[in-house]
Amino acid sequence: MLISRCQSFVRISFNPRYRDEHYCTCTRWGRGCVTEYAVAKTACDALGLPTTVFVINDLIPLFPDDCEVVTMHPEKLERWLKIRAANGHPAPSKVWAHTLKYPEVTHFVCDWAGSSGLVGAVVPRLQGITHIILCGIPMTNTNHITRKVPWEAWNAYQKMWVRLLPLLPPKCVRSMSGWTREKFGFPDEEWLNSEIVVDEITRRPPLSLQA
């Protein structure tokens, strides 16, 4: 999912069973996004892993290359995508959200109640991806990329991540920074090159979390 020209927060995922597919996800949190993205991208390139990008929320207008889009705020998609087009960036290949009532949305994903960042990690899993790297998704009170103020909802969302971790499962996820790095670990070369077997893909959160 990484693009070397991108200056953004990213998540990378890679399925070693399909050596031509590698997924990353961009999100809005964290000042260290450019550094995290660059480190993750360099690691993937060194191992010869092609990339695809999942862009989340406020980075949708800014990410300059091919990507998929994930958001829990579909009411903002019309504006985000218009700005993206005006900036000369390619249209996303897929647009994921928890409702299909907005015309911009092309693919449905359940609301996992753990922030758009968690849903952004779920979407690659729904596509069979076994290696997901979170970049700029520390799940702490890091300043917002556009509003430049601390994220006040981080603590409540952290609790949902803890509750739902087994469903990802955790062995498929690593993180570049913050609380998520403490929980999942860092994406070292051994993990990137490892073969991860998952019996089935969890497509829905617990029924208590579904609308």
Q: Token digits for 2?
A: 């990484």
- pLDDT value at position 8? 34
The answer to whether 137 and 184 have CB atoms below 8 angstroms apart is no
Confidence band of 205 (pLDDT split at 50, 70, 90): low
Examine the pLDDT at 18 and tell me if it is beyond 80.
no
- pLDDT value at position 12? 46
Alpha-carbon distance 68 to 53, whole Å? 6
- pLDDT value at position 147? 62
Q: Convert the pLDDT of each residue in 99-113 to its tens digit.
A: 999 999 999 988 877
Most confident of 115-119, 123-127, 169-173, 183-187: 183-187
What does pTM read for this prediction? 0.78
Q: Convert the pLDDT of each residue in 31-44 to its tens digit.
A: 455 578 778 878 88
- pLDDT value at position 195? 84
Three-state DSSP at 41 gives helix
Alpha-carbon distance 159 to 69, whole Å? 25
Alpha-carbon distance 147 to 7, whole Å? 17
The answer to whether 132 and 13 have CB atoms below 8 angstroms apart is yes
Average pLDDT along the chain: 76
- pLDDT value at position 32? 54
Q: Convert the pLDDT of each residue in 42-96 to its tens digit.
A: 888 888 877 777 888 888 898 888 889 999 999 999 999 999 999 999 999 999 9
Confidence band of 203 (pLDDT split at 50, 70, 90): low
